[in-house]
Amino acid sequence: MRKLLPLLVLLLTACVTAQAEQVSNKAIKTYDFSKLAAWVGKSPSSAVVKGGKSFWDDSDLQRALAALLGKDEAKLIYTGWNGAFSESDVTKFGNVINVYICKENDCNLNALELYVDIQKNILQGCYRRANNFIRGEDYWISNIEKSRKLPAEACSKSPGESGYRIYGTK
């Protein structure tokens, strides 16, 4: 039996690793963000695709944001805080597109900067949400790793800055 124990441990480790890879690959393949490239150089609110849909109307983007932030929080973002918002044009570096949206006159407390790899279907971002109207709490959100709270002021107050500091891109 002692001779079989290392083999059993190796076999169990291989099964767990294979299952974890399937789960992580499934999470990435669940979404198709390639359509978002249509907005590069344009306002995310502009109607670029057929049917007059905006960047924020993309069903995969809405599903991903709802999974990461919860349905109500996500809806605040893709409805632009019910119409009171500011946003940057969509930019691209390599396969990653970047967009910044914040609540109008309240960008210090309510903002989201998204980084979407349109080839690998990876969505990550720095999300700041007001806490009792005193100070925004910062979170790193991602569909490939566990979302986590960040130190105070980790998310930027201007487009591109948090990506340079956290994601390593500019």
Residue closest to 54 by CA, chosen among 92, 95, 93, 101: 101
3-state secondary structure of 126: strand
Q: What is the DSSP letter of 49?
A: B
Q: What is the DSSP letter of 47?
A: -
Query: What does the pLDDT look like over 115-139, one tens digit per residue?
Result: 999 999 999 999 988 866 567 788 9
Query: What does the pLDDT look like over 68-114, one tens digit per residue?
Result: 999 998 998 888 887 888 899 999 999 999 999 988 888 888 899 99
CA distance linking residue 113 with residue 123, whole number of Å = 11
Name the token pair of 156: 């930027």
Entry pTM: 0.74
Q: Cite the DSSP H helix spans in the chain.
A: 4-29, 59-69, 71-78, 80-83, 161-162
